Amino acid sequence: MNNIKNQDERVLAQRRKIQSDGFQLLIYGLFLVIIVQMFFFQAPPSQYSGELLCLIGAGFYNLIRNLKLGNNIFVNNEGSYKSYFKNAAISGIGTMILVPILTGQKLEDVIGFYISYAIVYVVMLSVIYYLSKKKEEKIQKELDMDEDDIN
């Protein structure tokens, strides 16, 4: 504790931004390594499972920390399901195009995967959105109570 010096907030914000950018680059690198090993080298899953676990763990860490702090993780504050379906459709169509090309799977298998993916995606995002909104409302309620106590 004695080693901590008073630092300029601007410097701290810049350091945090640099660390955040580094974290994003690391995540993109892990994702790229997994894709290259999976599709181009056709490596067995045991070869890239460590990277995959790190990628999934980092995603859950970010999600849980943001939900716990009540940060809005969605750009769209309206909660409209149109954006969920649009994201699921765009990423699913990309998947339906790329997976048969890269792996040689039948299009019927990919369509079945896409339908189940879209359902799971929308349900998962709905639950996350609900939890995020509940935490935001709880924090707002606490702030409102604190303001009432001050007045």
Kindly state whether residues 103 and 82 are assigned to the same domain.
yes
d(CA 70, CA 65): 9
Contacts of 83 (CB under 8 A, 6+ apart): 76
Kindly state whether residues 76 and 150 are assigned to the same domain.
yes
User: How many folded domains does the chain comprise?
Assistant: 2
Which residue matches tokens 């892990």? 30
Structure tokens at 107: 């299009």
Using one digit for the tens of pLDDT, what is the confidence trace for 137-150?
888 888 888 777 77
35, 90 Cβ separation under 8 angstroms: no
Structural domain of residue 129, as residue ranges?
72-151
Using one digit for the tens of pLDDT, what is the confidence trace for 92-137?
788 778 777 777 777 777 778 778 877 887 788 888 888 888 888 8
Q: What is the pTM of this model?
A: 0.64
The answer as to whether 1 is a domain residue is no
Kindly state whether residues 105 and 144 are assigned to the same domain.
yes
